[in-house]
């Protein structure tokens, strides 16, 4: 994977836009559950905000992964191969995996009629927990270690 000196403007914009949309998707999930029940009882669900937001996330994450593969990213701070660097790299990989798997689970439930709604909900909850841990680590770096990490996701380089 290519190592850069910083994230690009596109990478930063996608990071924050997707983070906000994931939070909105998480809070609107119940509406999709209600819509599923209506459909299962033979009714018509109409426009479901959660599905629209979830699809937007999936599309943006695909773009984000392509940009990441093409451009690369800065190395995590610390000694290469150290515990903290390995943990950061695997944490980020896990976030990417969940950002793809969760919307695909939603698509499988809503469009393909597969019985994976509960799995989708579980994976979404895990995504939120990992993302909160990730945010906590970012804040720890910024305000306890005072290494200016947050700036890397604020200013393009
Ligand atoms: C749903 C919410 C979020 C998701 C899914 C997410 C995901 C990610 C991912 C996958 C990366 C790695 C990017 C890469 O190297 O390609 C990243 C980096 C980063 N995120 Fe988040 N993030 C979220 C929310 C937040 C929040 C709330 C904060 C701040 C409080 C934050 C701060 C950062 C910072 C500072 C980096 C750069 C880390 C570095 O340079 O090594 N993120 N995020
Ligand atoms: C990152 C994106 C997403 C997140 C964080 C997310 C989150 C959630 C959560 C937390 C629930 C459970 C709500 C509850 O019952 O209290 C849920 C349910 C649901 N979501 Fe998503 N979702 C995402 C993407 C999608 C997408 C792309 C679709 C469809 C195209 C979708 C369709 C559904 C459906 C149909 C349910 C109801 C499942 C059932 O009750 O069996 N979601 N989602």
User: Which pLDDT score, from 0 to 100, does residue 149 have?
Assistant: 96
| 51 Cβ neighbours under 8 A, 6+ residues apart | 32, 35, 106, 110
Q: Output the CA torsion 55→23→104→16 (10° steps).
A: 70
User: Which pLDDT score, from 0 to 100, does residue 157 have?
Assistant: 87
Task: Match 């669900």 to its residue by tokens.
Answer: 45
Report the predicted TM-score, pTM, of the whole model to 2 decimal places: 0.96
Could you tell me the distance, in angstroms and rounded to a whole number, from the CA of residue 106 to the centre of ligand 1? Answer: 23
CB 146 within 8 Å of CB 72: no
Q: Which segments in the chain show pLDDT lower than 70?
A: none
What's the farthest any 2 CA atoms get from each other in the chain? 58
Q: What does the alpha-carbon distance between residue 131 and residue 95 come to, in Å, rounded to a whole number?
A: 7
User: Which pLDDT score, from 0 to 100, does residue 44 have?
Assistant: 94
Q: Give the ligand whose atoms come closest to the C-alpha of residue 147.
A: 1
* Residue 141, ligand 1, Cβ within 6 A: no
State the closest ligand 2 atom to the C-alpha of 54, by its place in the atom list counted from 1.
27
Task: Match 């793809």 to its residue by tokens.
Answer: 100
Q: Output the CA torsion 21→27→33→34 (10° steps).
A: -120
User: Which pLDDT score, from 0 to 100, does residue 1 have?
Assistant: 73
């Amino acid at each position: 994977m290519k190592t850069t000196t910083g994230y690009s403007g596109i990478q930063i914009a996608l990071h924050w836009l997707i983070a906000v949309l994931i939070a909105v998707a998480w809070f609107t999930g119940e509406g999709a559950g209600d819509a599923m029940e209506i459909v299962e009882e033979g009714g018509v669900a109409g426009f479901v905000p959660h599905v629209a937001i979830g699809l937007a996330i999936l599309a943006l994450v695909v773009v984000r992964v392509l940009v990441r593969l093409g451009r690369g990213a800065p190395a995590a701070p610390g000694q290469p191969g150290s515990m903290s660097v390995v943990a950061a790299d695997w944490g980020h990989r896990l976030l990417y995996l969940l950002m793809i798997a969760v919307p695909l689970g939603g698509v499988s439930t809503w469009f393909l009629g597969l019985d994976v709604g509960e799995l989708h909900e579980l994976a979404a909850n895990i995504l939120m927990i990992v993302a909160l841990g990730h945010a906590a680590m970012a804040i720890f770096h910024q305000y306890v270690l005072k290494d200016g990490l947050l700036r890397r996701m604020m200013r393009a380089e």
